[in-house]
Amino acid sequence: MKLFLRNSILSVLGHFKKITNGIHILNSHYISKENIPKEVFFELLSLFSKQADFINIEEAVKAIKEKTHQNQKLIAFTFDDGFEECYTKIAPVLKEFKTNAAFFINPAFIDADNEYKNYFLNNIVHTPHKNPMTWEMIKELHSQGFVIGNHTYNHLKLVGLDSDKLNRQIILSKQYIEQKLNAPCNYFAWTYGGLKDIDNAALTLALQSHPYVFSSDNYTHYFSYNNKVLNRRHIEGNWPLSHVVYFLSKPKTY
């Protein structure tokens, strides 16, 4: 009942809202938890494109840091966890709209055997019907101009970990991605995304090793932690446009 009421309220309120000026970085994981066609995501972007323009993620972070494009309505895309549909469904749609995304991956999930894959899907990300991308898919996306980012090695929450575990989740994960791609990995998004989901030790290490660090929190502000962390707004690819517009109608501040 609560979910029904929430969705009804968002549908009504969002119908009367407009996307505000500024750069909105969106954070998703998939089109839907279920296996639905890419046309659903295409339709959402088609509706988006009537209210805002799309911007590559590299341009978005640069513009936010330099405080440019403030009088435009711009949307950039990111996706966490590295699900196969990022390659098979999401990237093809983004290319149709001549934009890219940052795909944040967990190397342990990409390398997983069936036992670990099932554990990861059922107990960590709670999406039992998904599969990971392969390294071949990831390399192809990278060659096509998509950004591949670090989302920790195996999706641990970055709170209370000792130095060895932190190093594995942040530094070794970054180095492994770089080895696979033969390219720098400059983007990091911590797992679960809330400002409460990372402690000072982990945040310090992430900022020291990655030029761009992202939360999935505090989305009406471009930055958190004294202009060090870029904030994203969570949506998924099958959300009604009115729900997304409701959130993106809130003014952005530095």
Residue-wise pLDDT tens digits, 217-245: 999 999 999 999 999 999 999 999 999 99
Q: Please, how many CA atoms are within 13 Å of residue 30, restricted to the half-sphere of its CB? A: 20
**pLDDT greater than 90 at residue 5:** no
Whether 216 contacts 232, CB under 8 Å: yes
Supply the angle between the helices 173-181 and 135-143 in degrees, to the nearest 10.
70
The model's pLDDT over 36-82, given as tens digits with 9 standing for 90+, comes to 999 999 999 999 999 999 999 999 999 999 999 989 999 999 999 99
CATH numbers and ranges of domains, the chain: 22-248 (3.20.20.370)
User: So what's the pLDDT on residue 12?
Assistant: 63
Indicate whether this model's pTM tops 0.75.
Answer: yes
* Cβ 247 vs Cβ 235: under 8 Å: yes
